[in-house]
Amino acid sequence: MKQNPVYKRESRVNSRSLRLPLILTVFNGILCAVALMNMYSVVSQVKATATIQYSSFMEMYEFVATIEFILLTFIVPAVTASSISGERERQTLELMLTTQMTPSQIVSGKLMSALSTLLLLIISSFPAIMMVFVFGGITGTDVVALLLCYTAVALFAGSLGICFSSAFKRSTLSTVLTYGVLVSIVGGTYFVNRFVLGLSAGRINSYAITYGIGRAQQQPTSGNFVYLLLMNPAATFYAIISGQAGSGSGVDKLCQAFGIVQKGWVMENWVLISIVLQLAVAGCLLTLAIWFVNPIRRRRKNRG
């Protein structure tokens, strides 16, 4: 199987650079420090009370997994948002396009290089996360679901960064737009639901006051706006981790938070649909990035 030349070059550069070992050290250092501090507090509690609270180890797992999710969400755009625009700034993109490499090879090679780094981060973080296996409560299926969530957010955020990096010539602009859109998706979908939920509660209270009803019979809800959270990686992670480390289903807690009572096929398969949808959007963004890099498109635009 022929190896992608861009990925091969990026792998050699990363292996010779001090940036990758530094990222690994800082990333795992933060995770291990958090895990060890939590473990120390649990051991101190055992010495003081002579009782073991297994919920403390689940809280440790939840906290460490959340820290890793946040770190991945912020690291991915920083790695990919300057991948193509950086080549333009160094005036090497045109040279790459004069070779036999296609735009799809350039884009896929940049993405594979970024994902290889992130995969290394995820695998190297296993010792910190697997501490909870000593005490039980987490199964192999739970770990697979967590890894799928990490992969989905890495592909989604990575393709978003590469798309903006391909569309704009400056790395600063592409980085700002990538973080801006990512924050808008994560925070915007949540606040839209909270806003609609508030409007629903106000309308119900107004109806109760108008007709002299002491207690409203209808529950406030965000309605169909809750489906916007399918595109929210943080909501997907919350549904997974809350179901693993908490009591009950994470999707049920998500529905209760926004007043959703009726549950259909989407709610029953929320995590799977959310991951598939985010991967589909990532594929569309990569296709758009290839279109931006294609020199034939730019030549036609200049002629027009």
Q: Show the 3-state SS of 116-175.
A: HHHHHHHHHCHHHHHHHHHCCCCCHHHHHHHHHHHHHHHHHHHHHHHHHHHHCCCHHHHH
Q: How far apart are CA 119 and CA 101, in angstroms?
A: 25
pLDDT of 133 reads: 65
Sequential DSSP letters for 90-112: TT-HHHHHTSS--HHHHHHHHHH
- Angle between the N-to-C axes of helices 103-124 and 54-80, in degrees from 0 to 180, rounded to the nearest 10: 150
- pLDDT value at 284 more than 90: yes
Q: pLDDT tens across 134-182, in order?
A: 665 677 777 788 888 888 888 898 899 999 998 888 888 899 999 999 9
The highest-confidence range among 129-133, 143-147, 227-231, 260-264, by mean pLDDT, is 227-231
pLDDT of 54 reads: 63
**Confidence label for 120 from pLDDT (cuts 50, 70 and 90):** confident
277 contacts: CB under 8 Å, gap ≥ 6: 230, 231
- pLDDT value at 298 more than 60: no
**Confidence label for 1 from pLDDT (cuts 50, 70 and 90):** very low
- Angle between the N-to-C axes of helices 270-293 and 140-167, in degrees from 0 to 180, rounded to the nearest 10: 30
303 or 181, which is more confident: 181
Alpha helices in 50-102 (DSSP H): 54-80, 83-89, 93-97
- pLDDT value at 248 more than 70: no
pLDDT of 217 reads: 60
SS3 of residue 287 by DSSP:
helix
Mean pLDDT estimate for the chain: 79
Instruction: Identify the H or E element spanning 273.
Output: helix 270-293
Residue with the two structure tokens 């990026």: 10
- pLDDT value at 2 more than 70: no
Residue with the two structure tokens 């549950």: 263
Alpha helices in 186-232 (DSSP H): 189-210
Q: Which token pair is 210?
A: 């108008």
- Domains of the chain, by residue range, sit at 22-303
Work out the average pLDDT over 222-244.
Answer: 85
- pLDDT value at 256 more than 60: yes
- pLDDT value at 222 more than 60: yes
pLDDT of 280 reads: 93
pLDDT of 101 reads: 81
- pLDDT value at 231 more than 80: yes
Q: Which token pair is 241?
A: 């981790």
Q: How far apart are CA 278 and CA 88, in angstroms?
A: 28
- pLDDT value at 259 more than 60: yes
Closest CA to 235 of 298, 282, 188, 280: 188
Question: How many residues comprise the chain?
Answer: 304
Q: How far apart are CA 272 and CA 243, in angstroms?
A: 14
Q: Which token pair is 44?
A: 């101190």
254 or 137, which is more confident: 254
pLDDT above 70: percentage of residues in the chain: 85
Q: How far apart are CA 81 and CA 79, in angstroms?
A: 6
85 contacts: CB under 8 Å, gap ≥ 6: 165, 166, 168, 169, 170, 171, 173, 174
Work out the average pLDDT over 61-80.
Answer: 82
Q: Which token pair is 281?
A: 């959007």
**Confidence label for 297 from pLDDT (cuts 50, 70 and 90):** low
